[in-house]
Chains A and B, each alone.
Chain A
Amino acid sequence: MPNQGDATGGAVGAGGAPGAPYGERAAVRVEGLWKRFGEQVAVAGIDLELPAGRFIGLVGPNGAGKTTTLSMVTGLLRPDMGRVLVAGHDVWADPVAVKSRIGVLPEGLRMFERLSGRELLGYMGRLRGMPGDETDKRATQLLDVLDLAGSQHKLVVDYSTGMRKKIGLAAALLHNPEVLFLDEPFEGVDPVSAQTIRGVLERYTASGATVVFSSHVMELVESLCDWVAVMAGGRIRAAGPLAHVRGEAPTLQAAFLELVGAGGRTAGDALDWLGGQAAR
């Protein structure tokens, strides 16, 4: 079980009043968010304030509740309790204001895969009420930048994982949202596509927009994000600027393992037969 006593390394101090010391406008404010699936509590009361204009990483081990949290924040899953504000608007009370301001790339949900990449973008843009010409212009540029122009007439069902993530990202960016939520955007993506996605996201945040993405690859989060929230067991273990969460630890990985209480677990002598020099 994660030991919360060990986790208090100054990082939770920042998590206690997240965002507050920096006097920034909050892009997302989460208050007392709960979700239970049958017996299992997936999200056990989250309070979080994510500053605007930052590259924010939501990290945690598998089953920590990252996807559930992001689904509730983006209006795809109804919370049992709690409130979510995006750019000051309640996600559940004021969907008109929220849905036009956010872009979403969920994990584990399909897209309209029997459309070609270009058709998918054209469809999404028109569904969002954008004019046809503007949609097509932006689609062309996004396809170019994301290196999908060569496959724009191929059906999405025939795309590789990396291409799917990229077309999903394009669909999420099409209406120029203020906040972008990406669930595991780099999972199963090759290094070239990952670099492309990274470039687009960095340009996007540089203009003042906010990116919130979940991942369990710490090196990636450490190199990309300037603000992180660590989740485990449905709770926030720490949140704040990267340096604060990392604290004394040499890497985010080490800090993370300590926070979720998984530090110091090695194979030891249990697998002493494994290896080239051992007796067969």
Chain B
Amino acid sequence: MNTAAPAPASPSAPLPPAPAASGAHAPDPAAVFVRIKLSLLRNGLKGSSKRKAAYFTSLGFALLVGLALTLGLSALRGHAHGGTLVVLLAAVLALGWAFMPLFFPAGDETLDPSRLVMLPLRPRPLVRALLVSSLIGIGPLFTVCVAVGSVVAVAHGAAGIVAAVVAVPLLLLGCVTLARAVATANVRLLTSRKGRDLALLSGLVVAVGAQLANFASQRLMETGGLAQLQPAGAVVRWLPPATAIGMVDSASRGAYGTAAAQLALTLAGLALLVWLWERSLTRVMVTPDGSTVAAQASSERGSAGGGLWALLPGGRTGATMQRTLRYVVRDPKTKAAWVSSLALGLIIPVFNALQGDGSIYLVCFGTGMLGLQMYNQFGQDTSAFWMVAQTISTTRDAYEELRARAYALALITVPYTVLVTAATAAVVPDWQAFPAGLGVALAVMGSMMCTGALASARFPYSIPSDGAFKSVVPGQAGLAWAGMAGGLLASLVLSGPVIGLAIWFEVARMESAFWLLLPLGAAWGTAATWAGVRLAAPRVARQLPEILQAVSKG
């Protein structure tokens, strides 16, 4: 007895404390994750007053918009289409949650499973902890505002109120789980170069989406416009997590069977999402990173389009044009800028024309946006500009370099402008104004290229390679805006004579003279471009090291 007692105690003494201690007062992983999230938030704000201001501004903004939405939605109470509208809104909200992490992957550090791999946690507690910590933030707050407003709009009677109380957390959980499940399933994509490239295109989605939403809302504001949403609403109220709001609507109308089915569907959807999330999280954490494998997949390049490239001139002109055009397709930031310019340049004149208040001169909007691509040419090269700088030794070299870039731009912009002008003229319809519209657009484009070349030489600035909405590095914003605003104003003045002539012809109803504007505008634009490139070249050749320094800060 007295020999046996100490024997098992001494060898086991060093071993048990670890599991015993963690078992006795191991903190709940959920609490730990909430604390991590709050610490990350606090540390992120520490020190930088600018970031603090940005955070609190966006928090205030989200709260303001959220509350406005709550009130606005509450005002829908009793509206004939209120139910349809809030159900659709819930669906849009869920859609936003699903795609937000793909476009803004840097938003939440706890989102990256590779950071969690080393933690001694089983998937289930991990998922629970992550879910709880994801409920903290501006996004969930905003979602709660919208959810509350939505249920207030449709809840009637005791059953409706009970359903409403259940629906708000269910909608929030549904949205958050959806976002997490989608992000985890795509985490390989998010951490690879392709994923980061994709994220840079988000600016494009926002820009084009905002325009489309603008036109859609105009259409809905017309009398009877809301009735068009009815069929969509009928489908969406059976899609989780919008079923949560559908349930409140059904319960309020006394359709308890439908409400119960919708509740069951909401819960089933939530369970399915959690299960999918847990599964992909486990898979991601126990299989090797595929980021190196993905790089191998790049296909055979160079041979494609080889025939067409041969049509470009030789030497620096052809090489630079080819490089510029390749970058339009391959560089995500350049591509985003080009595609959004091309899309908006088409949407604005053509949609306005479709709605009956179009004008051929709206074509100039797209042309102007495309002309902006000529600005900060060397900043678009980033610090790779040294390769160009190494080969420029004379003003002639600089002239050829800038001219080739202008050629590459014109190769896309000129045919595009002709097409958009023709499309607008066909929709308005006003073929008589076609030459006038095209002429003015070409003059505007030429003036933009002229000022763009000059601004590229005089006001070069760095473009950060990350972040879709960051187009200037800190400290150079003033320079960028000075160059751009001054350039725009100067372009307007430069193309003034052609614009003035067009206005005069319009006011004086001299439709027969419209055709004159086409050759005049084309010649004007060409001359302006040539002059701009010519004037910018000596400065570029002289200031190569200074330009390189200015564009290497990204």
Considering the chains assembled together, what is the distance between the CA atoms of A106 and B545 in angstroms?
14
Give the contacts of A119-142 with B (CB-CB under 8 A): 119, 122-124, 126-129, 132
Determine whether the beta carbon of A126 is less than 8 Å from that of B546. no
Q: Nearest B residue to A106 by beta-carbon distance? A: B386
The tally of CB-CB contacts under 8 A between chains A and B is: 94
Determine whether the beta carbon of B391 is less than 8 Å from that of A128. yes
A115 within 8 A of B: yes
B10 within 8 A of A: no
Considering the chains assembled together, what is the distance between the CA atoms of A109 and B384 in angstroms?
6
Partner of B301, one of A96, A153, A157: A153
Q: In the complex, how many residues of chain A place their beta carbon closer than 8 angstroms to a beta carbon of chain B?
A: 37
Give the contacts of B293-325 with A (CB-CB under 8 A): 295, 298-302, 314-316, 318-320, 322-323
Taking the closest CB of chain B, its distance from the CB of A272, in whole angstroms, is 25
Partner of B316, one of A119, A126, A155: A126
Q: Nearest A residue to B381 by beta-carbon distance? A: A112
Considering the chains assembled together, what is the distance between the CA atoms of A76 and B394 in angstroms?
15
Considering the chains assembled together, what is the distance between the CA atoms of A95 and B392 in angstroms?
8
Q: In the complex, how many residues of chain B place their beta carbon closer than 8 angstroms to a beta carbon of chain A?
A: 38
Stretch of B45-53, B326-334, B442-450, B502-510 contacting A (4+ beta carbons < 8 Å): B326-334
Max chain A Cβ within 10 angstroms of own Cβ: one of B299, B302, B546? B302
A118 within 8 A of B: yes
Considering the chains assembled together, what is the distance between the CA atoms of A17 and B133 in angstroms?
68
Determine whether the beta carbon of A115 is less than 8 Å from that of B552. no
A109-B384, A114-B330, A126-B316 are contacts. A119–B301 as well, Cβ < 8 Å?
Answer: yes
A112-B384, A112-B387 are contacts. A154–B298 as well, Cβ < 8 Å?
Answer: yes
Considering the chains assembled together, what is the distance between the CA atoms of A104 and B314 in angstroms?
24
Taking the closest CB of chain B, its distance from the CB of A74, in whole angstroms, is 8
A113 within 8 A of B: yes
A129-B315, A158-B295 are contacts. A118–B391 as well, Cβ < 8 Å?
Answer: no
Considering the chains assembled together, what is the distance between the CA atoms of A279 and B540 in angstroms?
65
Task: With A99-B390, A115-B326 given, name 5 new contacts (CB 8 A).
Answer: A74-B390, A75-B389, A104-B390, A123-B323, A127-B319
Residues of B bordering A, CB below 8 Å: 193, 295, 298-302, 314-316, 318-320, 322-323, 326-327, 330-331, 381-384, 386-394, 544-546, 548-549, 552
Q: Which 8 A-B pairs have the closest CB atoms?
A: A126-B319, A95-B393, A114-B330, A158-B295, A127-B391, A109-B383, A96-B393, A78-B545
28 CB-based A-B contacts, threshold 8 Å:
A75-B389, A75-B544, A77-B548, A77-B549, A78-B546, A99-B390, A99-B392, A104-B390, A106-B386, A109-B384, A110-B382, A111-B384, A112-B387, A114-B330, A114-B331, A119-B302, A119-B326, A126-B315, A126-B316, A126-B318, A127-B316, A127-B319, A128-B391, A153-B301, A153-B302, A154-B295, A155-B298, A155-B301
